[in-house]
Amino acid sequence: MADAATRASPVGHLRLPAPNALRARLMGWVRATTLNSFAWLFARPILRLATGAWPSPADVALFRGAFRRFTPLPPLLRGLATLPAGRHQLTRAMLASWLLADEAYRAGIGAELLPETRPAAQLGNCLRIWTGPKVTFLHLEKTAGMAVTDVLAAQFHPLQIDADLRRAFPPHVLTPLPPFLLEKVRRCALVWGHYDVPSIARLGGGRFTFTLLREPKARILSLYRYWRGQAALDLGWNGMNQPVLAAQRLSLAAFLTTDDPWILDYIDNFYVRRLTGQYCSFGARDPLRAAPDEWLARAMSALQAFDFVGLTEDTEGAMARLGELLGFPAPASVPRVNVTRSDEIAASTNDPAVAAALDRLTRLDQAVYEAAITRYRM
């Protein structure tokens, strides 16, 4: 019995194509011949008009081959897409059409693309390209940094944002921006993380750098609350887990009076340490305790070098100012991220021992914070 595509021939056992198959083959031959002829006749003038220059023989051959080969793209577009010069012009056309499109069209495309192309943990906007200055955000723990990052990163394409996971580790735990990553990070339009000023200085000049500061005592209490509410292993490996485990084990008074250098680097005049890169866990001698006035002066100088310093207590106002400086629209409200509350901890701040410890741990940082307030209000 003959199959669906053929039928029996009166000549022996020879099988001939069925009428539908013959028609399909004929149409395919006509299409290929038409496209081939068109490509041979018009490849050069088309490429001249599309790229702005006369094509080389190699370009013509690539165009002709792609023009008559079936792909989901229409013939002219797939022919242009095979040439470097053609891809360049197609990219420019794509960006121009996006800029000229109305908001309804952009919103529709965004709704279709973002759920599939953007992983939940990935920052950035796949439909946006940042064309402003390169930006570095010094994210100091518990200063509303994640909320700021969410707003800021939405102005950048994900490929423009530094993806180094080391950003989660502070400088006294893991060396940030190591030499083998430095050149790659320098090319990123947005760099952010729990770094310090000496670290971000290695990125070189020409970057817009900013940070946010929070009232120092409130920052320490917020950090303690946050650590007590987290699974230690969710916040990193053992070198970073120990302070978290200590916060979960110790009362607030005991936590604030510890002599553990790994904890002190997070709470003992934290701003001065991050602005100068001086940590007590680096050795037996703590430089801040040896020469507090010297390092406070250096911290003040480092603070003045930032292009912008915002205040956590006015996060929405800070984002509005940042938007004005960088040229992006600030959101009507800034979402709060990593917020924790504890009535027990709030009550314990009335303990004289807790109050005294907070005064001691923030003696230098209070001066830095007051300087930030003065600058912010100017």
CA dihedral 315, 317, 318, 324 (to 10 degrees): 150
pLDDT band at 118 (very low <50, low <70, confident <90, very high): very low
Residue predicted with more confidence, 213 or 346: 213
pLDDT at 375: 97
Phi, psi (rounded to 5 degrees) for 119: -60, 155
Q: In this predicted model, what pLDDT tens digit does every residue of 249-300 receive, in sequence order?
A: 999 999 999 999 999 999 999 999 999 999 998 877 899 999 999 999 999 9
| pLDDT of 368 | 98
User: Across 46-55, 96-105, 322-331, which has the greatest mean pLDDT?
Assistant: 322-331
Secondary structure percentages of the chain, helix, strand, coil, to 5: 60, 5, 35
Contacts of 320 (CB under 8 A, 6+ apart): 330
- The model's pLDDT over 27-45, given as tens digits with 9 standing for 90+, comes to 777 777 887 787 778 888 8
Q: Classify 298 as helix, strand or coil.
A: helix
Torsion of CA 66, 72, 76, 79, to 10 degrees: -30
Q: Is a pLDDT exceeding 60 seen at residue 116?
A: no
For residue 119 the two structure tokens come to 């992983």
- Mean of all residue pLDDT scores within the chain: 83
pLDDT of residue 19: 66
Q: Taking residues 182-188, report their average pLDDT.
A: 92
Instruction: Say what the pLDDT of residue 12 is.
Output: 45
Dig out the tokens for 227 from the structure. 């650590």
Q: Which CATH architecture has domain 134-377?
A: 3-Layer(aba) Sandwich (3.40)
Six token digits for residue 270: 């934290």
Q: Quote the percentage of the chain above a pLDDT of 90.
A: 45
> What is the three-class DSSP state of 168?
helix
Q: How far apart are CA 267 and CA 290, in angstroms?
A: 17
Q: By C-alpha distance, which of 88, 68, 89 is closest to 79?
A: 68
Q: How many residues does the chain have?
A: 378
First to last CA, the chain: 93
Domain boundaries defined on the chain: 32-98, 134-377
pLDDT digits (tens, 9 = 90+) for 126-168: 778 899 999 999 999 999 989 899 899 999 988 899 988 778 8
Closest to 225 measured CA to CA, from 354, 361, 342, 343:
342
